[in-house]
Chains A and B, each alone.
Chain A
């Protein structure tokens, strides 16, 4: 059930009774890509600060209102959006809607809290760097997207975070956290009419801002780059990246299936070839991230440093093979079934459903998300081969390696 309130706030409510908990999420059309070069990390910093208190809620409110009743709350900042997600006992749906509405516009962004949080965010940067897979993907986006905002580090830079002032954060908050940016999603054993009334009473009362978010620009064509970074450890990491279609593009379903057939499951091509037959890598996978303005297609692997060159050559060989010979009917059928299953497994939980709906409404369209599996079913093997030719150029790609320093 989708509603648009008079001030532009979107509300999606689904009564879902095979669970004891309710998921309540607030999605905001503001992400790392909306930052200017001087504001790197602001979207993420703001997300942290929204848990620090509002004009009527003292710090520690999540303790009392969420964890104190057995629930959980957290948030995430992506390139295109930020979202706040809570799961609670079902009786808490209405108060949680009110709480999220409150933090969305009434957070005080207290000066002292802001200073204290700096240490936390600087620590988060260190933590990401200690996790090679996450760090690899982030750095690989930098290689693929070049000077586009999608190349940015979501956490910002230590220099910008150290120097961050309340005014800067406040102006970002006022600019982006407006009714036109919000989607509220409620899924669980709730009375939909009651949940809608709660949304109208809270988010529905905010004045329209008239703000129009700038669409993200299309990225420039990829300029092939090879970057090697030294990184402590005993294993190497390899990442290859290409630009892919944006979310709202006719090629998206075919690329989704292509990437699945290449390396998203155990029986898929890259793991079977590089991991099983050639014993070149410990793990290898391909991924496709369809974003609002562009997509990224990546292949990442963990391996012994001595296998780096051969592994890269073998990945490109598989790319070449799919470009020339396409995929089999059996592979295509399997990839579609796996996508259907992934959707079914995401729909098992209230928060999985809420996330599906919230993301679609924020960066896409809910109706298309719900019809997406049917669209996948219409993709042909020839279309998959064509998108392989269109997007996976074996001569033009970005490459990143993490190599252990010499001992």
Chain B
């Protein structure tokens, strides 16, 4: 014991000192380079690590049934070769600095993201810039990625929860691009050529639609200078006008799908306004009264009181266009009918029986708590900063949103329920008996 005690004390002391050095909230700075690229730096002196998120305004929101999945496909291939490195050289380069590098196309934005031990921040930033600006999209790597993406699409269609959720988005959004999956469809992934990917790459990577966010133990001024050096030479593009997208008009249908599975899935969805709408904070509080963790009405009523579900909750996302409030529940096939009736009656009750003062206070704390819970790591901090900036809401949106949540009244929540919890769209996955 005495032999190991000193080293133990020394390590704890080191951790302790690092912690004490950083007592206040890390400061965030925003800088726009002359070519329009925005750089956000959050300096966290105690982290020991650094995370970066480079986001570009592109993704399935800007795709159509004919090119669905192209943004994600492109980003997967960008990781597979640059003018300086092959795919495996890229991987060893970031692993040598204790890091990770990844890229994907999502709904509102596409991202090249990375993290590493803080002392290697400059190498990491160089790698991110290289992948974003000097990707070569090698033909053989495109084929490897195509195979993997087709596998992913298959696995997603085999997974009961994902299949149900994806079906819900299609039914809810119809012709609006939010109905599309960021992965795309088998047909489009099979068809894309290198020229398609290259044209898309050139079309979306322009500085004025890009945001770089860096969070961690980094020297801010040097980060900004390095970003200028790496990204400053990108030329500004002529602005392309945004294309109009068809408005979703769900008909409130109920659809039953079958798949070999153990659990039945029940998903109920409604359209809600965008994150810019004044009533949006009330919608999020409403969602939390229903599905916010173990104290939401769905969990208490359907799981705790009636034992009808294992998992249940409500999903919402920050969208620039029409959002969705989606209640979900997984249960034994025998309980499916009772569970479906139960969810629908809870959603109906949300209109008839307004949230009590207690429920309101808890739901607000839950939504605000979620925001700080979700940003505990530097990787999440970087994502949040870049995401809200790149979609045009501003990097400080979460703080403003938090204050708006605080101001939500019971009357606001009642109004949100009255206005938006109408005409449920329902998708039920019934397990098919697997063939033996």
Contacts and interface: CB of A to CB of B under 8 A. Distances in A.
Q: Does B associate with A? A: yes
Interface of A: 1, 14-21, 51, 59-60, 62-63, 67-73, 87, 89, 116-120, 122-127, 129-132, 230-235, 265-267, 272, 275-276, 279, 282, 302, 304, 330, 333-334, 337-338, 340-341, 344-345, 347-351, 353, 365-368, 370-371, 405-406
Nearest to B264: A126
B300 A60 contact: yes
A324 B435 CA distance: 44
Contacts of B95: 265-267, 334, 337-338
Contact of A67 (B92, B160, B366): B366
Interface of B: 4-5, 7-8, 11-12, 15-16, 19-20, 22-23, 26, 44-49, 87-88, 91-92, 95-99, 115-117, 144, 147-148, 151-152, 154-155, 157-161, 259-263, 292-295, 300, 303-311, 330-332, 335, 358, 361-362, 365-366, 368-369, 372-373, 376-378, 434-436
Given A69-B365, A232-B434, A282-B147, 13 more contacts: A21-B373, A62-B294, A67-B295, A70-B365, A70-B366, A119-B332, A129-B262, A233-B155, A266-B91, A334-B92, A337-B95, A367-B7, A371-B7
A279 B116 CA distance: 29
Contact of B98 (A62, A123, A344, A366): A344
A72 B310 contact: no
Contacts of B263: 123, 126-127, 130
Contacts of B19: 14-18
A123 B361 CA distance: 31
B307 A120 contact: yes
Contacts of A365: 4
B98 A87 contact: no
Contact of B158 (A124, A235, A333): A235
A131 B95 CA distance: 29
Nearest to A16: B19
A127 B117 contact: no
Nearest to B8: A367
B111 to A, nearest CB: 17
8 contacts: A16-B19, A70-B366, A123-B311, A123-B330, A123-B332, A282-B147, A337-B98, A351-B376
B155 A282 contact: yes
B376 A19 contact: yes
B373 A87 contact: yes
Contacts of B151: 235, 282, 302, 304
A358 B151 CA distance: 39
Contacts of A51: 294
A109 B6 CA distance: 44
A405 B436 CA distance: 6
Contacts of B362: 63, 67-68
A99 to B, nearest CB: 14
Contact of B4 (A117, A120, A231, A371): A371
B280 to A, nearest CB: 20
Contacts, number: 208
A337 B96 CA distance: 7
B52 to A, nearest CB: 14
Contacts of B49: 341, 344-345, 348
B99 A341 contact: yes
B11 to A, nearest CB: 4
Nearest to A88: B369
A367 B5 contact: yes
A67 B5 contact: no
Contact of A368 (B4, B152, B311): B4
Contact of A130 (B44, B160, B292, B376): B160
A178 to B, nearest CB: 24
B377 A345 contact: yes
Given A68-B365, A405-B436, A282 B307 contact: no
A254 to B, nearest CB: 19
B294 A67 contact: yes
A51 to B, nearest CB: 8
B146 to A, nearest CB: 11
B74 to A, nearest CB: 19
Contacts of B15: 14, 16, 347, 353
A17 B99 CA distance: 25
Contact of A116 (B23, B116, B307): B307
A67 B434 contact: no
Contacts of B11: 370-371
Contacts of A89: 369
A116 B308 CA distance: 9
A344 B46 CA distance: 11
Nearest to B370: A70
A347 to B, nearest CB: 7
A348 B332 contact: no
Given A120-B303, A366-B8, A72 B369 contact: yes
Contacts of B377: 345, 348-349
B46 A62 contact: no
A230 B436 contact: yes
Contact of A68 (B161, B361, B373): B361
A118 B332 CA distance: 12
Contacts of A235: 151, 154-155, 158
Nearest to B265: A130
A299 B292 CA distance: 37
B246 to A, nearest CB: 32
Contacts of A129: 262
A286 to B, nearest CB: 15
Contact of A119 (B144, B154, B308): B308
A129 B330 CA distance: 13
Contacts of B23: 17-18
A69 B45 CA distance: 28
Nearest to A340: B98
Contact of B12 (A1, A124, A351): A1
Nearest to A70: B369
B2 to A, nearest CB: 11
B117 A344 contact: yes
Contact of B310 (A69, A123, A366): A123
A130 B261 contact: yes
B282 to A, nearest CB: 18
B20 A341 contact: no
B303 A18 contact: no
A371 B48 CA distance: 17
A335 to B, nearest CB: 9
A126 B92 contact: no
Given A87-B373, A338-B95, A302 B331 contact: no
Contact of B155 (A21, A69, A302): A302
Contact of A340 (B117, B306, B331, B372): B117
A337 B116 CA distance: 10
B88 A276 contact: yes
Nearest to B92: A267
A173 to B, nearest CB: 20
Given A127-B310, A267-B95, A340-B117, A71 B369 contact: yes
Given A70-B369, A123-B331, A367 B295 contact: no
B376 A348 contact: yes
A274 B45 CA distance: 41
A291 B151 CA distance: 33
A20 B26 CA distance: 11
A316 B273 CA distance: 55
Contacts of A368: 4
Contacts of B157: 234
